[in-house]
Amino acid sequence: MPHSIVIFGASGDLTSRKLVPALYNLFRGGSLPADTRIVGYSRTPMSDDAWRASLRDTTAKHAEGEPFDEKAWGEFAPRIHYQPGDIGSSADMEQLKERLAVLEGAAAVTRVYYLATAPQFYEPVVAAIGALGMASEENGPRRIVVEKPFGTDLQTAKRLNAHLHTVFAESQIYRIDHYLGKESVQNIIALRFANTIFEPVWNRRYIDHVQITVAEEVPVGRRGAYYDGSGVLRDMFQNHLLQLLMVTAMEAPVKYRATAVRNEKVKVLESIRAYEPAEVAAAGTRGQYRGYLADPGVAPGSQTATFGAIRLEIDNWRWQGVPFYLRSGKAMSCRTTQIVIAFRQPPLELFAEGSRGGGSHREGNRLVIQIQPAEGIQLHFHTKVPGGGMKLRLTDLEFSYSREFKGRLPEAYEPLLLDVMTGEASLFARSDEVEKSWEIIDPFVRAWSSGEMTPIDLYEPGNWGPASSDAWINAQGRSWFDICPVL
């Protein structure tokens, strides 16, 4: 069946930097379903050809991997169409409907609506689609992709869900989190559930704690106007970090199918301990990089956190007593997303230097899952240094994607777009999942923006957050694994 991808917000950044390059890469690699057409909709008046020409340049710049292939683009470009129009104008939307009818003809078509607009247009687009009967599945499946941010708190997320459900069934809605499209994130599921050796140790008996870090080297820069109202909790924690936590902590689904996978993920969120209001401030630490206030769009004296770390407790049989530390920030030492499974110490320390057992504190074993940019896995363990005596050193076993597999790793949007086209929803968030995520993050947002908090700690760009972040985790008998990826 042919596919139409209708992009609302066609002239925006997401479309030119991510969506079209991903579709082009799929086409070039031979995985884009035959007879896929892309229809862009936005206010800028433009012809099909003008949009194609502009996308050619942005795609050449942003498509990752191999050099831009002019011939492949030449074959891909005729699939791209543009319809100028205003989301708020029913006459314009009617014209879009007519254009789609002309392009698609009488054949049944799988049609995907992609909300790549600013979030305030989500509801008007959905309302217009509903009013024109464009969600009806009489002539093939109709799906809608909703980008982040999905609301700004629990209340707005519930409202958006309710609004979507007035027009679309839950099974038609694909809430995207591009972290789940990353190869190395999907590989966590493979690592855990396609192997037997990890499962016996993947629990409170062997694991001391888990660290999930998404560090970015870049500052907020030009995105100040958006970021200042959002901060790191809404921008990164409610979505990406909680997704990483869910795939790390979930039980094995009975099948690798959307409902089973999503049920297990939601159970993790349901098991996360709700802190009493008085406990929230101590369960996290926050910071702002020096210079943030000078970024365009940032309010004078803003207390918005550009760095945050929180501790979550999962109260279930597998994880009770194993803290999950989540940390993210801008303008940090390097770009790295990693999950560190920190194992317990052996019950008895036999090889402490200068003593016969007991006493000295040695680093525990670690499984480090490098999500990006150096995708791979390292297992850290102690080895005897050759020579006399029992001197030990931490060494590791390494798996690196780039050494093991030839060619580029697909960009996150590529597999996700294909999944929407084929109706595979495992890697998309369900309504209860986003609502639960907000329920977990909202108390931190409230606490961090309350007037009772001490002024935010500053950190120099290029650090792992403020000094208070180390003090905070050290006070809990642990330390951050602050290593830039070397794989």
Q: Which whole-number Å values give the CA distances from 376 to 321, 329, 413, in the listed order? A: 28, 22, 20
DSSP 369-401: EEEESS-EEEEEEEEEPSSSS--EEEEEEEEEH
**Window 153-182: contact mask with ligand BG6 (x via CB under 6 A):** -------------------------x----
Kind plus residue range of the DSSP H or E element containing 470: helix 467-474
Residue 148 or 436: which CB sits closer to ligand BG6? 148
Q: How far is the CB of 216 from ligand BG6 (least distance, A)?
A: 5
Cα 171 to Cα 144: distance, rounded to the nearest angstrom: 10
235 touches ligand BG6 by CB under 6 A: yes
**Window 110-149: contact mask with ligand BG6 (x via CB under 6 A):** --------------------------------------x-
Q: Locate tokens 């500053």: which residue? A: 458
Q: Which pair of tokens denotes residue 380? A: 């850290």
Cα 362 to Cα 366: distance, rounded to the nearest angstrom: 12
Amino acid found at 480: W
228 touches ligand BG6 by CB under 6 A: no
Kind plus residue range of the DSSP H or E element containing 473: helix 467-474
Q: How far is the CB of 210 from ligand BG6 (least distance, A)?
A: 19
208 touches ligand BG6 by CB under 6 A: no
Cα 255 to Cα 117: distance, rounded to the nearest angstrom: 34
Angle at 425 between CA 420 and CA 429, to 5 degrees: 110
Kind plus residue range of the DSSP H or E element containing 343: strand 336-343
**Window 269-308: contact mask with ligand BG6 (x via CB under 6 A):** ----------------------------------------
Q: How far is the CB of 94 from ligand BG6 (least distance, A)?
A: 33
Residue 4 or 239: which CB sits closer to ligand BG6? 239
Q: How far is the CB of 448 from ligand BG6 (least distance, A)?
A: 17
Residue 85 or 224: which CB sits closer to ligand BG6? 224
Q: How far is the CB of 59 from ligand BG6 (least distance, A)?
A: 18
Residue among 240, 361, 380, 382 flagged as catalytic? 240
Residue 178 or 209: which CB sits closer to ligand BG6? 178
Amino acid found at 482: D
Q: Closest Cα partner for 284 from 329, 219, 317?
A: 329
Q: Which residue is nearest to ligand BG6 (CB)?
A: 235
Q: How far is the CB of 412 from ligand BG6 (least distance, A)?
A: 6
Residue 135 or 441: which CB sits closer to ligand BG6? 441
Residue 277 or 462: which CB sits closer to ligand BG6? 462
The phi and psi torsions of 151 (rounded to 5 degrees) equal 80, 175
Q: How far is the CB of 274 from ligand BG6 (least distance, A)?
A: 25
- The answer to whether residue 240 is catalytic is yes
Which segments of 71-220 are extended strands (E)? 80-84, 110-115, 142-146, 173-175, 207-215
Q: Supply the angle between the helices 20-28 and 48-62 in degrees, to the nearest 10.
A: 80
Q: Is the dihedral of CA 118, 25, 192, 145 positive or negative?
A: positive
Per-residue burial over 317-349, b if 16 or more Cβ lie within 10 Å, else e, is ebbeebbbbbbbbbbbbeebbbbbbbbeeeeee
Residue 9 or 253: which CB sits closer to ligand BG6? 9
Amino acid found at 227: Y
Residue 179 or 444: which CB sits closer to ligand BG6? 179
Q: How far is the CB of 235 from ligand BG6 (least distance, A)?
A: 5
Is residue 284 classed as helix, strand or coil in its secondary structure?
A: strand
Binding-site residue total for ligand BG6 (CB under 6 A)? 4
Among the listed residues 208, 216, 228, 295, the single contact to ligand BG6 using CB under 6 A: 216
Positions that interact with ligand BG6 (CB under 6 A):
148, 178, 216, 235
Query: So which residues are the catalytic ones?
Result: 240
